[in-house]
Structure 1
């Protein structure tokens, strides 16, 4: 098992380390200049600092937008709009819980929200999956589900999606009390919770209903229906860790229009955009930088900060190249563990059924031929063969050690 399973076996949730030394900085003035540039750019971003932005409402600020675009996963991805959603948005959480801003030390955004009685406010993905995806309209259940998952170390995306899978297979709706009871059973591996704790794909396979598990590479999908975001459709498929919105985030340009708007119902140009976004996020994670800041800042500012800290003169393209090597290494690791192009696919549901159209928006099934062409383009741009497998030539180009695959 991985590190998480080892820690779980030891009943260990986290390790806290407190150092006694200080980190050396090559040029403090240069770091200060880079910091000022980053914060200045962030302060002018409507997505981050606007009246209805992330600073004021957390990531829950996305809830209304995704609902309005008719791409909110509903009823285990069998619909894309949830009619009670306008009463469950971030504004209503603020009204009910009177939450305050908090977050990481030194941050100006402070995206985390805590209620007046200490309640931890859910992030957007949690808000969406514990309402629309499982057809729940009780806000307190969402907050309690968030608390249970946080204390038990369970991912809210996977937990919510697994409950939705269970509901579809069992052909039943869950009451608020049943939602929280099942989450506790999953956490303690009790009763049906023991099976659900293995994740939706294994649970559904055991019931002969793999079609009800909405996963990529066996990982449950987050709160963006790919029928409403074709960039997200491709990003889910190509993500090295399965259905994930944090390897690439095409929502930024398809929905938030940052840095420029792209057509969310088209694959045109998306293969290259997704590849670059994956490289970007790989280096952002390695810099331990906040992804939200990249709604405003760029790698140019972080290259300046990196050079100021380390003394190593670095450009944005240098950092992006590091990100590409990181991502290609992950592709190598996946291939060595048996993954290939057949795993870079979406559930059939998205190709066979429509979303919830209306208000002048048509949410059609994804055209499979268009998807496969975009995936083929991605493989070529990424430097993979047409089976989605890394090549010796690309490894040589990137300076990565080749392992026979």
Structure 2
């Protein structure tokens, strides 16, 4: 969005040649270590893992754990889910493995229909274009995914905005209606002009702001926070809004990697979220894949960094760099007027229960417990009680201070 505001469509980077690796032998050893660790991970390389089913492997799991956002987060279980899972796509589209250059996990999937190649949707797209908006058509999900990709729209935000509209108007969707509205959103035509502003602004204009399931204006992904309290904290505290990837607590709360934590407790979550934010900041800076961190860790990537650059580096060195990145983002947010009031969830999650079942109870999130965990996070992160950065902490991290 920042680039779009500056009228920048793309950046072209040119170079004079390949970067020289300082220690090729050490790099090969680090690579072998990462390959060995990921090969031993069932979540990544197992029969029902990402390499075989893509991220859609999570679809059944989220519904079974009673945390699949349904009907705009009014429920957390979608009864037709078993017919719309990754296995259903595999049967219909016979997908083949595909992925980033050089990757051995290959979590992407390319299917085909009538001999035409089709990009298979990721988990969040599968979930939001079915359960969230009340549709049961895999062909629609594939077409919506294709349309959003071609038009440059995020599938999570697009589907969430449509779910908001459905709750406000009470009108269910047909596949044709969904695809038509998506195109109108991208082109700013008719009702799409308002929908294209996102759920928060659309709901506000419609006089129903409580129906926008967003944090800091960013629509929430396909993990209901009532079913994972670390996720609740991660959504609220993320510097870019309701994002699951800034801390990705699903890894330990649901996948139990690297160790399992109690998903219905805030105990210890403030520190876990802070460390995870720092870790994922450096993972992004290294342009590494978050999925490999289900198995490998910063120790292996510190070896990679040292081998390539020749700079002696430990896992803690990388984590400290991640902390600098994330604290700098808090400074940027503060300069733009964000404070503790923005580090919050929609009220629905504190007042309405989810869909209990399978001997799993999904009560509303305890508001006092959430606020207490947020206060602990501020203290651990080195922020004021209002969620603002401190000059002393910024200087300790070697960051510029702009007289907040």
| TM-score band w.r.t. shorter chain | over 0.9
* Aligned counterpart, 2:4: 4
How far did 1:298 drift? 0.2
* Aligned counterpart, 1:33: 29
Match of 1:4, SS? Answer: helix
Report the Cα distance in structure 2 between the residues aligned to 1:153 and 1:362, rounded to whole angstroms.
Answer: 38
Report the Cα distance in structure 2 between the residues aligned to 1:156 and 1:56, rounded to whole angstroms.
Answer: 23
How far did 1:5 drift? 3.7
Q: In the TM superposition, what are the counterparts of 1:112-261 in structure 2 within 5 Å? A: 112-116=108-112, 117-261=116-260
* Aligned counterpart, 1:49: 45
2:368 maps to 1:369: yes
* Aligned counterpart, 2:65: 69
* Aligned counterpart, 2:77: 81
How far did 1:19 drift? 4.3
Distance of aligned partners of 1:166 and 1:402 in 2 relative to their CA distance in 1, 3 Å threshold: same
Unpaired runs of 5+ in structure 2?
none
* Aligned counterpart, 1:104: 100
Report the Cα distance in structure 2 between the residues aligned to 1:363 and 1:172, rounded to whole angstroms.
Answer: 27
**What TM-score, normalized by structure 1, do the two folds share?**
0.97
Report the Cα distance in structure 1 between the residues aligned to 2:301 and 2:318, rounded to whole angstroms.
Answer: 9
How far did 1:24 drift? 1.3
Report the Cα distance in structure 2 between the residues aligned to 1:19 and 1:244, rounded to whole angstroms.
Answer: 33
Report the Cα distance in structure 1 between the residues aligned to 2:381 and 2:188, rounded to whole angstroms.
Answer: 41
2:56 maps to 1:60: yes
How far did 1:268 drift? 0.4
* Aligned counterpart, 1:289: 288
**What TM-score, normalized by structure 2, do the two folds share?**
0.98
Report the Cα distance in structure 1 between the residues aligned to 2:69 and 2:2, rounded to whole angstroms.
Answer: 30
How far did 1:171 drift? 1.2
Match of 2:79, SS? Answer: coil
* Aligned counterpart, 2:401: 402
Matched residue count:
401
Report the Cα distance in structure 2 between the residues aligned to 1:4 and 1:32, rounded to whole angstroms.
Answer: 40
* Aligned counterpart, 2:303: 304
Distance of aligned partners of 1:146 and 1:5 in 2 relative to their CA distance in 1, 3 Å threshold: farther
Q: Deviations over 1:237-291 (max 9, x none)?
A: 0000000011011100110001111110000000000000000000000000011
Match of 2:118, SS? Answer: coil
* Aligned counterpart, 2:326: 327
Report the Cα distance in structure 1 between the residues aligned to 2:13 and 2:172, rounded to whole angstroms.
Answer: 44
Q: Deviations over 1:289-331 (max 9, x none)?
A: 0111000000000000000000000000000000000000000
How far did 1:133 drift? 0.2
Match of 1:285, SS? Answer: helix
Q: In the TM superposition, what are the counterparts of 1:322-401 in structure 2 within 5 Å? A: 322-401=321-400
Report the Cα distance in structure 1 between the residues aligned to 2:131 and 2:176, rounded to whole angstroms.
Answer: 17
Report the Cα distance in structure 2 between the residues aligned to 1:253 and 1:348, rounded to whole angstroms.
Answer: 25
Structure 1 ranges of 4+ moved more than 2 A: 4-7, 14-20
Report the Cα distance in structure 2 between the residues aligned to 1:15 and 1:280, rounded to whole angstroms.
Answer: 27
Report the Cα distance in structure 1 between the residues aligned to 2:2 and 2:383, rounded to whole angstroms.
Answer: 27
Report the Cα distance in structure 1 between the residues aligned to 2:4 and 2:253, rounded to whole angstroms.
Answer: 34
* Aligned counterpart, 1:269: 268
Report the Cα distance in structure 2 between the residues aligned to 1:82 and 1:193, rounded to whole angstroms.
Answer: 27
Report the Cα distance in structure 1 between the residues aligned to 2:211 and 2:63, rounded to whole angstroms.
Answer: 23
Unpaired runs of 5+ in structure 1?
none
How far did 1:172 drift? 1.0
How far did 1:18 drift? 5.8
How far did 1:15 drift? 4.8
